[in-house]
Amino acid sequence: MIHAALLVWFAAAAPAQVSSTVSLSNGVQMQITTKLGTPTGQQAVTVEMVRASGDSFYRVFWDQNKLAVFAYELGIHLDPSGDRLRVTAKPAETEFAARFPNADGGKPTPTLSSEQQLGAITSGQSVDLPLFELQGMGTSVVDTIRLRMDNNPAAASGRMRLSGLKVYINRTLVPGAAPSAVSGKFTMIYIPGRGGYFFSTEAVAEKPFSKAGTIDRNRMLFDIDNESYEAVSSAPILANPDSGELWVYHDPAYKPSGNWTQNLRSGAPAKSADLDFFVAASDSLSWWLSQ
C-alpha cells in the first residue's frame, strides 16, 4: 500500500492547513487543501489520501496513536466537456473497513452521515466540504477542492518540472508531446503500449524504484529493460541544483484509471483503450498507484 501521509503538528499560534496537488499535461490542475481551524497544540493528526477507484480517493485522518478519527471517500469526475469537475463525498463504509481493518481499534471509523453531491466547479473555483470537529482541541476540519485549467501552469512548487516534454526511446521519438507544464515531488509519463514510468529524485521505499539515470538541466537520461530513454523538457527540470540523480519505477502493465488523462483539445473523451501519451505530477504516488 502506498501511504501518502502528511503529518501536521497543530500549532496554537495560527490556523493550520495542508495541501496536496496534482497536475496533468492536458492542463488540469487540482488541489485539495485541509483547513484545521485553530488547534490548541494538544493533538497530532496525519492526513492520508489513498486511491479507492479510478476517480475516487479515501481521505483518512489519523491521530498520534495511529487510530482513524475520521474517513470518507472523495469522488472527482472530470466532465466530458473537460472544463469542470464534478465532486462527490461518500461515507467510508464496507469497502473502506475491508481495506483498513482495525482502523479505529475495532470500532466503526467516524465518517459522513450520507452521500453529498457537491456539484460542479470550473477553473478558478473551489468547493468547501466541512468534515468534523475535535471537541476541546480547537480543531474544525474542512477540505477545499480547487480546479485550475491552464495550458501553461506556473508549476512554481515541487521538486521536478516537466514542460513540453518529448520522449525518445533508443533515439526514436515517441508519438505525442506534453503541451503544458507539470510540477511535483513525483512525475510520471504514460506511453500507450508501454505502461507508466514514475520518477523521483530520491529512493522510494514503497515501490521498486531503481537509480536508473540522471537529470541534466532539461534532460532526463535513463536505461530501463535494456532500452535507452531520453526525455527532453523545454525548460530546466530542477531548480537548484540543475542536475541530479534520477530514480525510476516502470510498470509496463499500468493503465490510467478514470478519464482525467483525456486529451481535452480533441473534443471527445478518450476511451480506456486509446488513451494518449501524457505527463503528470503530484505530491504523492497514491494519485496513480493504489498498492
> Among residues 128, 149, 170, which one ends one of the domains?
149
Per the domain annotation, does 252 fall within a domain? Answer: yes
Per-residue H/E/C for 169-219:
ECCEECCCCCCCCEEECEEEEEECCCEEEEEECCCCCCCCCEEEEEEECCE
Per the domain annotation, does 115 fall within a domain? Answer: yes
Q: How many residues does the chain have?
A: 291
> Among residues 149, 173, 196, which one ends one of the domains?
149
User: What is the domain range of residue 244?
Assistant: 160-287
Q: Are residues 138 and 245 in the same domain?
A: no
Farthest CA pair distance, the chain: 62
> Among residues 100, 120, 149, which one ends one of the domains?
149
Q: Are residues 135 and 198 in the same domain?
A: no
Per the domain annotation, does 283 fall within a domain? Answer: yes
Per the domain annotation, does 189 fall within a domain? Answer: yes
Q: Are residues 136 and 55 in the same domain?
A: yes
Per the domain annotation, does 154 fall within a domain? Answer: no
For the chain, what is the domain count?
Answer: 2
Q: Are residues 169 and 137 in the same domain?
A: no
Q: Are residues 229 and 279 in the same domain?
A: yes
User: For residue 39, what pLDDT is reported?
Assistant: 61
C-alpha cell at 130: 466541512
Interval 234-253: pLDDT, tens: 999 998 788 899 999 999 99
Q: Are residues 283 and 194 in the same domain?
A: yes
Of 238 and 21, more confident: 238
Per the domain annotation, does 155 fall within a domain? Answer: no
Distance CA 53, CA 73 (A): 10
Cis amide leading into 241 (omega within 30):
yes
Share of residues in the chain with pLDDT > 90 (%):
38
Q: If we measure between CA atoms, which residue out of 193, 192, 213 comes closest to residue 278? A: 192
Of 183 and 168, more confident: 168
